[in-house]
Amino acid sequence: MSKQPKYQQVADALRREIDNGSYEPGARLPSEADLAARFDASRNTVRSGLSLLVSQGLISSSQGLGYEVRKHEVFELNASRFENLNFPQNGDAYSTDVTSAGRRPHQTFRVEVTTTSEYVAQRLKVEPSSRSVLRFCHRFVDEVPWSTQATHYPDWLIQEAPRLTEPGDIEEGTTRYLASLGIEQVGYADEIATRMPTPEEARLLEIGAGVPVLLWTRTGYSADRPIRCTVTTLRGDLNRMNYEIGDLSARENEAK
């Protein structure tokens, strides 16, 4: 006899069935009444178990439509190749990676001159509240919200790279644009963190209850100073990042 509360037993049983494919992504779960009969439990108990799965991001609920298994078509991003100028690109790095995966990219832009937050100022080595250019992208994969990306460029770059303040996309990507002006990114530092989304992030990324976001901060450097700080906020349920560092020929040999 399990010592777990009944609602936890309901949640655990349904989670196992979701994990083993008995209920595939997009499938509707049985009604609360049917589940109550199956588990010999009250509807309130079943509802508590279902609410736990909602909070964990495994299912979603719709008024009058019951519960549905969330779709998780994960996009894999190779962060060590992202923005590599030696890697063949078709447009910017995001469009290249999404297209190469056989999926459809779409993004909207907002560009503004703004004050620099302390978080970004520390990375750009400028004074907090100094002027910077913000290029904000709202990105989609197959029309599903994938990420937001806020890239900040220090004030001194505005004169040297005026296209940074133009609205809309820079077709070749800003890293290539800056390199064409002799402002080459020779290295970057990445920081990875997770947390629960803000209300605005949840709205933009259409994140369900219980789903965290992945925060990826990349600070790019020229030979002598930082040239940009990019904060990418990704849906935690639809993204996986990997890095490839060093000699990986042994892995390639294993695949043969």
Q: Is 174 exposed, middle or buried (0-12, 13-18, 19+ CB in 10 A)?
A: buried
Confidence of residue 89 (pLDDT cuts 50, 70, 90): low
Mean pLDDT of all residues belonging to the chain: 88
Distance of CA 145 to the CA centre of its chain: 9
Query: Which strand ranges, in their side-by-side order, compose the sheet holding 213-221?
Result: 105-115, 131-141, 144-154, 226-235, 213-221, 187-195
Confidence of residue 91 (pLDDT cuts 50, 70, 90): low
Q: Using one digit for the tens of pLDDT, what is the confidence trace for 167-199?
A: 888 888 898 899 999 999 999 999 999 999 999
Confidence of residue 1 (pLDDT cuts 50, 70, 90): low
The predicted model gives 19-32 an average pLDDT of: 89
Question: φ, ψ for residue 239 (rounded to 5)?
Answer: -135, 145
Q: Using one digit for the tens of pLDDT, what is the confidence trace for 128-141?
A: 999 999 999 999 98
Q: Which of 145, 146, 142, 124 is nearest to 133 (CA)?
A: 124
Q: How far apart (Å, rounded) are the C-alpha atoms in residues 135 and 153?
A: 8
